[in-house]
């Protein structure tokens, strides 16, 4: 049965606040991964993907227009951002300004409750929150599909964080404007499936290779990439059926093989991209042990060493304890499905 906290709020996304706009978005974890962009400028993925938005690690972003300013200012977790992180935000604001026909610069203040760049989907929550806040601040009235397409331009996984629960992101068809129009996420309603996702944080530090650089190298050099991309289609079809059945074992098996396959494509890149560390492998061993002992638990990993383990909520404490014992020094946290991105109203803290 769905419980209260799985209800997906449909907040007022179009409300423009007097002093800018503040939006909150949560990260999502893909059960069917996207890896590789067929258009880097427009951020269009090669493959469809399907994810679960989490109820932990939100990003809160405020965008205030600053008509007197000559340049945008970007605060990331309280510190002035520079280099690539700032440039990605400025490029995104340029896109929003172009869509809105506006020229004012903005002050952006973004706070992550998740370590940035550690493969914990901070770019997903970050660009989903920025899309919702910037669209409101610049007076753009976008529906959820348009917001998802906009968030995608920041980071393809962010397209999915516009939605709560489970979301499917279309790789889209055609090239150029046609690809841009047809690549967006949409919700996959699965009201009766509410698994737990135990996150084993084996290393919260930033990754050595950005996902952007890693996926480019994988697409260009890995002989396994095309095979994985083809198998992704079958995985997605099977995943949708498994989700609708509420079949945790099938969902978990498909998610685990899909993630391991994605990492295999990276290991075969030249030179290899390896995000998985000894602690990751120890956690994967813990997951196998859980299954041998009769507890359904299935792993997925993104562009980092941390492991997310899908299980029944009633088993989450046992799973967490096993993962901690497998990788001493790590920390664990249990997530459930969470809400979509939304504007925060003035009376919220
Ligand atoms: O969010 P990006 O564009 O940095 O790419 C990350 C992609 C994965 O997290 C590895 C997979 C996915 O579909 O989220």
Cβ of residue 43 lying under 6 Å from some atom of ligand 1: no
Alpha carbon of 274 to ligand 1 centroid (Å): 15
pTM: 0.93
* Residue boundaries of the structural domains of the chain: 13-191, 196-335
Cβ of residue 156 lying under 6 Å from some atom of ligand 1: yes
Ligand 1 atom nearest 49 alpha carbon? 13
Alpha carbon of 285 to ligand 1 centroid (Å): 24
Own/partner pairs, 85-94, CB within 8 angstroms, 24+ separation: 85/116, 88/154, 89/130, 92/127, 92/130, 92/131, 92/134, 92/153, 92/154, 93/63, 93/134
Report the distance separating Cα 45 and Cα 170, nearest Å: 8
Cβ of residue 33 lying under 6 Å from some atom of ligand 1: yes
Ligand 1 atom nearest 212 alpha carbon? 4
Alpha carbon of 226 to ligand 1 centroid (Å): 17
Q: 95 falls in which pLDDT band (50, 70, 90)?
A: very high
Nearest CA to ligand 1 atom 1: 157
CATH class of 13-191: alpha beta
Alpha carbon of 122 to ligand 1 centroid (Å): 10
Q: 207 falls in which pLDDT band (50, 70, 90)?
A: confident
- Radius of gyration, alpha carbons of the chain: 19
CATH class of 196-335: alpha beta
Question: Rounded mean pLDDT of the chain?
Answer: 92
Q: 208 falls in which pLDDT band (50, 70, 90)?
A: confident
Burial level of 327, CB count in 10 A (0-12/13-18/19+)? Answer: buried
Nearest CA to ligand 1 atom 10: 302
Alpha carbon of 101 to ligand 1 centroid (Å): 30
DSSP assignment string, 223-276: TTHHHHHHHHHHHHHHHHHHHHHT-HHHHHHHHHHHHHHHHHHHHTSSS-----
Report the distance separating Cα 302 and Cα 258, nearest Å: 11
> What are the pLDDT digits (tens) for 249-286?
999 999 999 999 999 999 999 999 999 999 999 999 99
Q: Which of 119, 124, 299 to mutate to test the pocket of ligand 1 (most atoms within 8 A of CB)?
A: 124
Return the H-helix or E-strand segment holding 110. strand 105-112
Residue 69's φ and ψ, nearest 5 degrees, are -80, 145
Percent of the chain with pLDDT over 70: 91
Asked if residue 34 lies in contact with residue 156, where contact means CB atoms within 8 angstroms, the answer is yes
Other CB atoms closer than 10 Å to residue 16's CB: what's the count? 14
Q: 14 falls in which pLDDT band (50, 70, 90)?
A: very low
Above 70 in pLDDT, residue 15?
no
Report the distance separating Cα 259 and Cα 183, nearest Å: 22
Asked if residue 308 lies in contact with residue 297, where contact means CB atoms within 8 angstroms, the answer is no
Work out the end-to-end distance of the chain between its first and last CA atoms, rounded to an integer number of angstroms.
Answer: 30
Q: Distance of alpha carbon 137 from its chain centroid, rounded?
A: 23
Alpha carbon of 2 to ligand 1 centroid (Å): 28
Cβ of residue 125 lying under 6 Å from some atom of ligand 1: no
């Amino acid at each position: 049965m769905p419980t209260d906290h799985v209800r997906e709020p449909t907040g007022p996304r179009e409300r423009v606040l007097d002093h800018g706009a503040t939006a909150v978005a949560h990260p999502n974890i893909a059960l069917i991964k996207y890896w590789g962009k067929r258009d880097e400028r427009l951020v269009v993925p090669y493959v469809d993907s399907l994810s679960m938005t989490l109820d932990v690690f939100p990003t809160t972003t405020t965008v205030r227009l600053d008509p007197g300013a000559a340049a945008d200012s970007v605060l990331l977790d309280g510190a002035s951002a520079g280099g690539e992180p700032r440039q990605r935000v400025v490029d995104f604001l340029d896109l929003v300004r172009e869509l809105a026909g506006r020229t004012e610069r903005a002050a952006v203040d973004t706070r992550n409750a998740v370590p940035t760049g550690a493969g914990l989907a901070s770019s997903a929550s970050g660009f989903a929150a920025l899309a919702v806040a910037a669209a409101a601040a610049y007076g753009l009235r976008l529906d959820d599909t348009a917001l998802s397409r906009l968030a995608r331009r920041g980071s393809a996984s962010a397209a999915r964080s516009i939605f709560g629960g489970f979301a499917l992101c279309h790789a889209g068809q055609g090239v150029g404007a046609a690809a841009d129009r047809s690549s967006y996420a949409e919700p996959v309603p699965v009201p009766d499936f509410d698994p737990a996702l135990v996150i084993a944080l084996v290393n919260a530090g930033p990754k050595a290779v950005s996902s952007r650089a890693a996926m480019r190298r994988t697409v260009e050099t890995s002989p396994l990439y095309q095979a994985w991309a083809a198998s992704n289609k079958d995985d997605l079809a099977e995943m949708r059926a498994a989700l609708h059945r509420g079949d945790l074992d099938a969902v978990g098996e498909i998610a685990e093989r899909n993630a391991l396959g994605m990492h295999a494509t990276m290991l075969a890149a030249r030179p290899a991209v390896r995000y998985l560390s000894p602690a990751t492998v120890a956690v994967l061993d813990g997951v196998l042990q859980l299954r041998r002992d009769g507890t359904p638990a299935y792993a997925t990993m993104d562009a980092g060493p941390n492991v997310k383990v899908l299980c029944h909520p009633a088993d989450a404490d046992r799973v967490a304890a096993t993962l901690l014992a497998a990788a001493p020094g790590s920390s664990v946290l249990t997530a459930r499905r969470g809400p979509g991105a939304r504007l925060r109203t003035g009376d919220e803290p």
